[in-house]
Structure 1
Amino acid sequence: MPEPGGAPGLGEAVRRWAAQLAHTDGVGLSADRLEELLHDVVRDVVQPVEAAREAAIRRFSALYSTSPMGIALADPAGQIVEVNAALGALLGYKPEELLGRHLTELGFSRRDVEGLRNGLEELEETDSEQHRERLQLIHADDAGTWADVTLTTLPGDRPGSTFPVLMVLDAGEVHSLQETLRHQSVHDALTGLSNGSRFNTLLESALSPSARDQIAMVYLDIDGFKVINDGLGAGVGDQVLRGIARKLKEVFAGPDTLVARLSGDGFGILLRGKLNPSDVIGLVEQALEELGEPIYIGDHGIGVSASVGIVVRDVGDGGPEDLQRAAEIALHRAKEAGKAQWMLFDPELDARDRARYRLGAEIAGALENGEFSLIYQPTVKLADHGELAAVNAGLRWHHRQLGELDSSEFYPLADTTGMTIPLGKWLLTQSLAAAARWRERYGDAAPDVCVRLPRRLAIDPDLVRLVKDQLDEHHLPAKTLRLCTDSGSLLDPRGEVLESLSVLSDLGAKLVLTVSGSADLELIPKHELKVEHAVLSGPVVDALADGEDEIAARTLDQLIVRARELKLRIGAEGVLTTEHAERLRAHGVLAARGPFIATSATDDEVDELIERHAR
């Protein structure tokens, strides 16, 4: 009879047990009968188990062969013995072409081979049930294919033995998408350059404790880029930026160099290695020359200029913030110097600038704490040096550590910190208060007060109301106030200064124009300004300081003739000596100020001058 379940050797085992049981005490059945009974037992017990085992094998085989996941079964040594169709399709091979290879041979690069080897060792030497990693596997077209790899084991035929299994999912599209997203996160979408985030990351890495040699940072800002955007449109501006990026990458193409777009029209370049300032400056000058070459977009040939800040230092001389700050300071200095040029960071200049910036930051507190006072420049009539025509009011700062500071030392800083208008308003209100006090004490002998309005205050919408309120509060006639300006303010293209001065002139304030040549005078009829006084300044006055210069005198005479035609009263500033004043008076100058009278005067000194004239 056939063996139960078709298992080899099972019939022999049944006969052996039947013969043994037939000779056991108490058993009355023959060996043949016992063999029949044992066959029945085996058939009832073993056949279902065998059937289930065969069904499981069939299910596993179907799953293995039809699975979309690539699978490779290996022997205990790691040699591939079975490969399903999915793995073959993923790697571009017929399954049988992969048989006999070691699992590690499926790695594309040395790194990938090492990853597979480490995974197999981890499974063998630890209790890990699986090892997962994203690797590149070989492909029939000699290129790698990205895959999510899982290594695990199946139990072997003998107790304790295992068979390695490789399971693979295609990660090409996912990896490509992740790489795209990663690239987008660290690159500028418009130019393709690195962005600020990547720039800062690499900067920190370049300044790590293990870094050596030198580092250079170049900050480059395109001059007047808004003109391109506003004049030709943002689309053209974008094309220009792409052209700029391309040129910068061509110039700064070294192996340890990074070019990044940090802002709208701002770029940063990071260089590492054995560097010296002259080499970096040479690259910057080459870049500026390239940027000046037109980029043709349609009919427009567009060239640009740039301001550049440069820092070159050893990597151990400060952190990322120090380096960035130094580059920004050098860039600002390049812009202040007139743009279209580079500046190398200078530590000594930086130390002086820090002191200046600290001073600028203290202005608001000093104004609130009463550290400012008025200081005056007396203007006298040249026919009688004892008679005051006006006093020009200015500010002096009584600094707690630095002592007395003139306006030239802090006014430029006030402009950068937004304190110009508060200082200007304080100067105006205090000057009118002083004028009211003099008028009350000395009557008609009191001088006019002249205030030079900072441009920001001159265009402030509250200026007219402020002047009118102060005049009303102190019961002063508007003619007591002289407002001084210059040609630079009048040439403001938006005309805001002209508008303010015209309104104040209508209120009765006297307008004073500082002039250095005939072109300045011609601004008066051109803009129909109600200027009453012209103050000569600069070379036209300086030329007569040491004697009568024929050419200078002729120029002066022409100015004075034109000023009289415009019905202006003529003064001068910067007059050094009594002889200098006399030469100017002989040509028709009526009043002057300068060292020949006093460089400056306090409230008490002005009182003394007024009293002396009154007596």
Structure 2
Amino acid sequence: MAEVVQRWAVRLADTDGVGLSADRLEALVQGVVRDALATVEAGREAAIRRFSALYSASPMGIALADKAGEIVEANAALGAFLGHKPEDLRGRHIAELGFSRRDAERLRAGLDELEETDVEHHRQRVRLAHADDAGTWADVTLTMLPGDRPGSMYPVLMALDANEVHSLQETLRHQSVHDPLTGLSNSSRFDTMLEAALGPSARDQIALVYLDIDGFKVINDGLGAGAGDKVLRGIARKLKDVFAGPDTLVARLSGDGFGILLRGRLNAREVIALVERALEDLGEPIYLGDLGVGVSASAGIVVRDVADGGPGDLQRAAEIALHRAKEAGKAQWMLFDPELDARDRARYRLGAEIAGALENGEFSLMYQPTVKLDGSGEVAAVNAGLRWHHREQGELDSAEFFPLADTTGMTIPLGKWLLTRSLATAARWRSEYGDAAPEVCVRLPRRLAIDADLVRLVKDQLDRQELPAKALRLCTDAESVLDPRGEVLESLAVLSELGAKLVLTVSGSADLELISRHGLNVQYVVLSGAVVDAMADGEDEAAARHLDQLIARALELRLCVGAEGVVNPEQAERLRAHGVVAARGPFAATSATDDEVDTLIAPAVP
């Protein structure tokens, strides 16, 4: 500093107009410098005091380190946060504050980033090691502070307590991917995990199980939603116990629907064994106080290599397998079968085409004549049915598409079309042939039989065609009569009061007894099944005795007895000998169109 002052004093003394000696100027310059240094030093000391106060009183944990990253000073807040005295942290590397090796590596990577790049700070959430050997979550900021010498920089760690924030975020994250009632994964997480399990790096096999509780509505309606919730929690616990593998995920996908995802080296036999165990465990009562509630479940299973299709294919396969399990009687499992699936796709496509086919006129009426067995060959009635003239598959009988109509909601439109067209044809026959015109018999699809508009529809059509109600026969069977809700019986009773004739198909004595038990106004019974088939190739003594018992009981009930499925004239004659007065089947005609029925009626017209 003295050399600088002397040099400037000489330069100023050599300036024109300056009347001071070099010594005097040197003294003056020295005074100026001393004042400047004093001002700088005062500012520096004030800055140091401010930093020290902030450092000491800050609620944020702070650690100052040397160039190597070893802590040289830590404030009280950091010591309290980590459960140490501040001086105990000196000499430790900043990375050593990490709770796990992964946390330490993240801190070290942050220091390296500050040193090797132009970033001013590095922030991350890590767990720091606490004195009680636990981890504590902290939002950490790493930065560099300048040192005393120009260009020198030293690392600093600043830490804020993030445990509450982290806990809240984890809680929210958990809630977003878990079902709040059972604690299982929800459908969103299940879909995400399924997609990940079928990603490009996936190996080995994957299994998907869809499980649905049978009749769970009964529990909710009978015991209340609160009891239902407790049962669902019990079901979830049982499923977690059975499917407890490391690469297994159990989720609640809907109200009473669950999904299980398994990954690894799998085979169908192992997965089926787990499903069978789960179904068995679910059959054990879940106790709500003293009340033991048992449930059954149906399961659809798919096991395949991860490369065999995407998530959508797998889910569809599981849904189809579950649907088949329920169709097979519930309380059981079904393994997805690709060959069955191919056939079902063709069937379901057929079902989807019914609405358009009806609108485009692809359906027609077909009849099966019921002829008297008195030798006259007179047509007593015709059973009306539908035939579909399919563009690709040709002629389809009602048995091939009516079951599909139930699944697509087309049963009622088809049934109404059948009823209105057959009554229109009956009206034409009555107009042309008078009393020789046959009555029309319609077997109502169950869905139409319980429809609220059925009675109005029948009455409107009878009035429109100017037909007496007695020209219409309505056929039903024991299964419909035994419907626990009684809706079919109610509809038939009202239609009977209008004058329509009721026909009951029977195969045994128990079916006949339904007539008196339920007070049915039945006029005709049609024998069907084994009791008729037994007379096809001869007369078995036991079968004949059974037939006589049925006919005797029918006569006691003042019923007219017919038969269906009669294949040849000899069988028809044997049945006639026992008291059957009319029959239908291949011996007369398998089916007939309107015009063909005309040719059967015409000979009976005088």
TM-score of Structure 1 vs Structure 2, range by shorter chain: over 0.9
**Aligned equivalents of 1:126 and 1:40: distance in 2?**
44
Supply the AA of the counterpart residue of 2:287: Y
State the shift of 1:50 in Å.
2.5
Distance in 1, matches of 2:352 and 2:55, equals 75
Q: Tell me the distance in 2 between the aligned counterparts of 1:288 and 1:525.
A: 42
1:22–1:378 CA distance, 2 compared to 1 (3 A): closer
Aligned residue among 544, 547, 559 for 2:550:
559
Report the Cα distance in structure 1 between the residues aligned to 2:598 and 2:185, rounded to whole angstroms. 67
Q: Which residue of 2 aligns with 1:577?
A: 568
1:62 partnered with 2:49: no
| Letter in structure 2 aligned against 1:170 | D
| Correspondence for 2:277 | 286
Paired amino acid for 2:40: V
2 CA distance for matches of 1:308 and 1:447? 50
What letter matches 1:281 in structure 2? Answer: I
Equivalent residue, structure 2, for 1:183: 174
Quote how far apart the aligned CAs of 1:284 are.
Answer: 1.1
**Displacement after TM superposition at 1:22 (Å):** 11
Matched, 1:334 2:325: yes
Aligned-pair CA distance for 1:228: 1.6
CA distance in 2 between partners of 1:210 and 1:186 (Å): 24
Q: Does 1:360 align with 2:351?
A: yes
Residues 210, 318 of structure 2: 8 Å contact kept: yes
Question: Aligned partners of 1:383 and 1:168: how far apart in 2?
Answer: 105
- Deviation, structure 1 residue 608: 0.6
Distance 2:13 2:331 in 1: 116
Deviation sequence 1:431-480 (CA, Å, 0-9, x none):
00110111111111100000000111111111111111111111111111
Residue 319, structure 1, aligned to residue 310, structure 2: yes
Structure 1 residues 171-207: Cα deviation after superposition (integer angstroms, max 9, x where no partner): 1111111111111111111111111111111111111
Q: d(CA) in 1 for partners of 2:470 and 2:518? A: 21
What is the count of residue pairs matched by the alignment? 604
Percent identity over paired residues: 79
What is aligned with 1:402? 393
Tell me the equivalent position of 1:522: 513
Tell me, yes or no, if the aligned pair for 1:22 and 1:28 is still in contact at 8 Å.
no
* Alpha-carbon separation, structure 1, partners of 2:474 and 2:93: 94
- CA distance in 2 between counterparts of 1:484 and 1:15 reads 127
1:430 aligns with 2:421: yes
The residue number in structure 1 matching 2:473 is: 482
CA distance in 1, matches of 2:29, 2:202: 82
Superposed structure 1 runs of 4+ greater than 6 Å apart: 12-25
What is the CA–CA distance in structure 2 between the aligned matches of 1:116 and 1:13, rounded to whole Å?
48
The equivalences for 1:247-326 within 5 A come to 247-326=238-317
Secondary structure of the residue that 1:159 maps to in structure 2? coil
Distance 1:22 1:612 in 2: 150
User: Which of residues 479, 488, 496 is equivalent to 1:497?
Assistant: 488
Structure 1 residues 541-577: Cα deviation after superposition (integer angstroms, max 9, x where no partner): 2222222222222222222222122221111111121
Contact 1:21 1:27 in 2 (8 A): no
Distance 1:441 1:23 in 2: 147
Give, as a single letter, the amino acid of the residue that structure 1 aligns with 2:363. Answer: F
Aligned equivalents of 1:18, 1:192: Cα separation in 2: 83
8 A contact 1:386–1:612 mirrored in 2: no
- Residue 389 of structure 1: aligned partner: 380
Match of 1:343 in 2: 334
For the 8 Å contact 2:13–2:25, the answer to whether it is kept is: no
Q: In the aligned structure 2, how far is the partner of 1:482 from the partner of 1:189?
A: 56
Unaligned 5+ segments in structure 2 are none
Q: Does 1:165 align with 2:156?
A: yes
Cα distance, 1:535–1:22 mapped onto 2, change above 3 Å: closer
Compared CA separation, residues 155 and 533, structure 1 to 2 (3 A): same
SS for the counterpart of 2:165 is helix
8 Å Cα contact 1:309-1:332 kept in structure 2: yes
Q: Is contact 2:373-2:572 (8 Å) kept? A: yes
Query: How far off its partner does 1:42 sit?
Result: 4.3
Q: How does 1:24-103 map to 2 (within 5 A)?
A: 28=20, 31=23, 37-38=28-29, 40-42=31-33, 44-103=35-94
490-499 vs 418-427, greater mean Cα deviation:
490-499
Equivalent residue runs for 1:446-457 within 5 Å:
446-457=437-448
Letter paired with 2:107? L
Show CA shifts across 1:34-86 (max 9, x none).
57645653464443333222222211111111111111111122111111111
Native 8 Å contact 1:514 1:536 kept in 2: yes
Q: Would you say the 8 A contact 1:81–1:100 is kept in 2?
A: yes
Correspondence 1:200 to 2:191: yes
Aligned pair partner of 2:208 in 210, 217, 220: 217
Distance 1:20 1:135 in 2: 62
TM-score by length of 1: 0.95
Whole-Å separation in 1 of the counterparts to 2:499 and 2:217: 41
Letter in 2 for 1:60: F
The verdict on how the C-alpha distance between 1:14 and 1:598 changes in structure 2, with shifts beyond 3 A counting, is: closer
Deviation, 1:595, is: 1.2
Distance 1:437 1:146 in 2: 89
Deviates further, 558-567 or 75-84:
558-567
- Report the more deviating stretch, 123-132 or 391-400: 123-132
Distance 2:188 2:12 in 1: 89
CA drift at 1:16: 6.2
Q: How many angstroms apart in 2 are the aligned matches of 1:42 and 1:385?
A: 144
In structure 2, distance between residues paired with 1:19 and 1:605 = 138
Helix, strand or coil at the partner of 1:384:
coil
CA distance in 2, matches of 1:37, 1:212: 86
Specify whether residues 43 and 392 from structure 1 end up closer, same or farther in structure 2 by C-alpha distance, changes over 3 A only: same
Higher mean alpha-carbon deviation, 356-365 vs 531-540, is at: 531-540
Deviating more after overlay: 265-274 vs 43-52: 43-52
| 2:13–2:21 Cα contact (<8 Å) kept | no
The answer to which of 244-253 and 451-460 deviates more is 244-253
Taking the aligned partners of 1:366 and 1:75, their CA distance within structure 2 comes to: 86
Query: What is residue 147 of structure 2 aligned with on the other side?
Result: 156
CA-based RMSD of the aligned residues comes to 1.9
CA deviation vs aligned residue, 1:491-541 (integer Å, no higher than 9, x gap) = 222221111111111111111111122222222222222211111111222
Compute the TM-score of the two structures, normalised by the length of structure 2.
Answer: 0.96
CA contact (8 A) 1:390 1:447 kept: yes
Residues 272-330 of structure 1: CA distance to partner in whole angstroms, max 9, x if unpaired? 11111111111111111111122222112222211111111111110000000001100
